[in-house]
Amino acid sequence: MAKINKDYTKLQSSYLFSTIAKKVNAYSAANPEADIIRLGIGDVTRPLTPTIIGALHSAVDEMADASTFRGYAPDLGYDFLRSAIADNDYKARGCDIDADEIFVSDGAKSDSGNIQEIFGRDNKIAVCDPVYPVYVDTNVMAGRSGSFDAATGKWSDIIYMPCTKETNFLPELPDKVPDLIYLCFPNNPSGATITKAALQEWVDYANKNGSIIIYDAAYEAYISEADIPHSIYECEGARTCAIELRSFSKNAGFTGVRLGFTVIPKDIVVEDVALHSLWARRHGTKYNGAPYIIQRAGEAVYSEAGKKEIRGLVDYYMNNASYIYNNLKAAGYEVSGGVNAPYIWLKTPDGMTSWDYFDYLLTEKNVVGTPGSGFGPSGEGYFRLTAFGDANKTIEAVNRICK
Amino acid sequence: MAKINKDYTKLQSSYLFSTIAKKVNAYSAANPEADIIRLGIGDVTRPLTPTIIGALHSAVDEMADASTFRGYAPDLGYDFLRSAIADNDYKARGCDIDADEIFVSDGAKSDSGNIQEIFGRDNKIAVCDPVYPVYVDTNVMAGRSGSFDAATGKWSDIIYMPCTKETNFLPELPDKVPDLIYLCFPNNPSGATITKAALQEWVDYANKNGSIIIYDAAYEAYISEADIPHSIYECEGARTCAIELRSFSKNAGFTGVRLGFTVIPKDIVVEDVALHSLWARRHGTKYNGAPYIIQRAGEAVYSEAGKKEIRGLVDYYMNNASYIYNNLKAAGYEVSGGVNAPYIWLKTPDGMTSWDYFDYLLTEKNVVGTPGSGFGPSGEGYFRLTAFGDANKTIEAVNRICK
């Protein structure tokens, strides 16, 4: 008699963005005339740029000819892409990362959900609170969460690191030492960033305690200020304790194209085993490589023309971020983020709960955002707006909110 | 102090095809003049067909324009593709499967490796022997295998169902009832097929015992004979006990494009939970949808022009299969498969082991095949050749072997 994975039944309601989609669809169905502006899910809206489009067309043509056709890709990614990543994202920044320490994948969501599989069930994990829900939910599914306490909104076996106004939206080193520490900077959802000196403290803490940091740098392209590290490998000692996750979704607009990568330096050894070899085995067994045509598109991101175009995309969204940030602030809202990240984090007005404010914005202003409480208990009373919308619609949405 | 997943350390050496690649690369490096013909890994060689190429180009163009750009895909797949699959692969064959029971993914390898995650660790699995290694390895990683006995080549907690000449290369209903039963027809690696009546016995057995069948139908496009089911849902009662995995790799040549799907009927309920909801949750949390442009390519497979072209690809490879089968048989080899499947399964000559024969073919004939023992202990003394090569090279390889 087959048995289900009981840990799945512990999961709380459905995935945050599914719930939002259902609410929006219901409202939209009941109010078909409503002009709803979506600043909720972190999905991009600008089209792919000419250099990327050209690379895709060219790779598609290669697939039409037997002499240039490509079947199975190398499990870990094509060398042309791994080398472009190593050179541009790491060596150019002085980070000592080799091409064969880069694992190409179909995106940072998959990687951030799958990476826990190479660790034992008995690892204690720590997450920022609020947090990208995938880190927590995949650990619940894997049996590491303990039980859920509806009163606090917390899992008994997970260490929560509150990131609120009081902590400047940054986590503090936990007293009880976690085995796996999930960090995301620039942060989703709060848009907060960490200085190199502060990140160095985390690297030192992890090395001292034998913890592993899973560092999600999906938003690094949005960093505009100096002294904010683009990679954890800018910190000394990160090669022995840190895994880094990256995405092409938010810089190059690949949310619907699907491409990302994970970096595991060969120096990370846990219980005498190189994590690099475990992840290679996982990748080789449960994954079959990213599509050739999409890896060529990824390569084009690193061409001179591609870099310039991608800069243009980021600037476009960051103009949105500034508009949201400045106008909400001027209107009296408490806001943070939005400077090195495409997310603006605001305190809900009048002590409203996050979901009450969500409903208010949806029904009164026809604007969709993301309730902070959906990201964890410390997100209660906060709300996330994204800068990924169309510029004119973003202005319209902000004007509606401020009116 | 972080801990690794110790189950990974139980895995035996590396993934079969990685080992083969290493051996071939080493031989090739030492003998750069050798004209090696690869009939080993099941990778296609014919280019994508015109209709698929057209669909890819057209979808790429949509991504270049803000008004037609697509960001995140629906987690479970676009409706246009799910409907095309339901209509063509199921309803047209009289199978009662709805579009929303189809989960689009990046391929059957990922799905066949990931599907076990929704089941508890305490499920007893049964596999055919020989078997596609991913089924076993992913269950080892998940802690369901027990210990490995090097003498027998078997895991203590896995039920092996020998498929040899003596059983007509088909499994027999096991005495000890498994919770999860992996079946693959047309079979990889042996090319064997199962009749509808024989498959019905498995469905009845599963329903009677509360077992779940994970039915890998990746090679269904190669079925040429009547009375061989293309889907397990042709059997009565399969909607309550069977999950089916499908691929676009082998029919449409998508090995480097990556697209597949899993069917979970809503009627499969285990411990009061619909497996459909568990897999939807897994897909929504650890996966972010297949790329839009590739789902459009998948849709084109079901167009009238696409179907005709794909038939041409299958015919091309099946001509290879016939050539291999007929000539090896005429040369005195014991061969099976190759009629409803792109794999030919041969008994190694002179009682050679599978790996000895691999080395012999590589070094003496410069032909690469796959050692049967790499698929399980009952594959010892067998060898797999694939029909996915170039026609002329396939003829040349067969002639070399027969000489």
The answer to whether the bond into A189 is cis (omega within 30° of 0) is yes
Q: Judging by beta carbons within 10 Å of its beta carbon (0-12, 13-18, 19+), is residue A25 exposed, middle or buried?
A: exposed
Taking the CA of residue B164 and the nearest CA in chain A, the distance in Å comes to 26
Radius of gyration (Cα) for chain A, nearest Å?
21
Indicate the residue of A71, A110, A117 with minimum beta-carbon distance to B43. A71
**B 198-257 residues inside an 8 A Cβ radius of A:** 209-212, 253, 255-257
Question: B13 pLDDT exceeds 80?
Answer: no
Residues B188 and B338: beta-carbon distance below 8 Å: no
> Can you give the pTM of this predicted structure?
0.97
Tell me which H or E stretch contains A51. helix A50-63
Residue type, B126: A
φ/ψ region of B191 (left if φ > 0, alpha if ψ in -120 to 50, else beta) reads left
pLDDT score for B76: 94
- What confidence tens digit (pLDDT) does each residue in B252-292 have? 999 999 999 999 999 999 999 999 999 999 999 999 999 99
* Number of cross-chain residue pairs from A and B with Cβ atoms under 8 Å apart: 245
Structural domains in chain A, CATH included, are: 6-47+305-402 (3.90.1150.10), 54-303 (3.40.640.10)
- Cross-strand partners of B367: B37
B contact test, residue of A1, A11, A12, A240 with most B CBs within 10 A = A1
∠ at Cα B325 (B366, B312), nearest 5°? 95
pLDDT score for A79: 98
Residues B163 and B173: beta-carbon distance below 8 Å: no
% helix, strand, coil for chain A, step of 5:
45, 15, 40
pLDDT score for B63: 98
- Cross-strand partners of B127: B160, B182
Percent of the residues in chain B that have a pLDDT greater than 90, as a whole number: 96
- What confidence tens digit (pLDDT) does each residue in B25-34 have? 999 999 999 9
- What confidence tens digit (pLDDT) does each residue in B340-384 have? 999 999 999 999 999 999 999 999 999 999 999 999 999 999 999
Walking along chain A (403 residues) 10 residues at a time, the average pLDDT comes out as 96 79 94 94 93 98 98 95 98 97 98 98 98 96 96 96 96 97 98 98 98 98 97 98 98 98 98 97 95 98 98 98 98 97 97 97 97 95 97 97 93
Nearest CA in chain A to B112: A286
% helix, strand, coil for chain B, step of 5:
45, 15, 40
pLDDT score for B18: 78
For B379-403, give the DSSP string: GTTEEEEES-S-HHHHHHHHHHHH-
Question: B21 pLDDT exceeds 90?
Answer: no
Beta strands in B248-289 (DSSP E): 260-263, 269-270, 273-274
Spatial neighbors of A320 by CB under 8 A, at least 6 apart, are A342, A387, A388, A389, A391, A394
- What confidence tens digit (pLDDT) does each residue in B52-99 have? 999 999 999 999 999 999 999 998 999 999 999 999 999 999 999 999
How many of the other CB atoms lie within 10 Å of CB of B205?
A: 17
pLDDT score for A377: 95
What b/e readout covers A282-294, taking b as 16+ CB neighbours within 10 angstroms? Answer: bbbbbbbbbbbbb
Which chain B residues touch A110 with a CB distance below 8 Å?
286-288
Which chain A residues touch B66 with a CB distance below 8 Å?
45-47, 390
Rounded CA gap, A179 and B241, in Å? 39
- Cross-strand partners of B257: none
Residues B350 and B323: beta-carbon distance below 8 Å: no
Question: B182 pLDDT exceeds 70?
Answer: yes
B176 touches chain A (CB under 8 A): no
Rounded CA gap, A389 and B311, in Å? 44
Rounded CA gap, B183 and B170, in Å? 10
- What confidence tens digit (pLDDT) does each residue in B380-403 have? 999 999 999 999 999 999 999 998
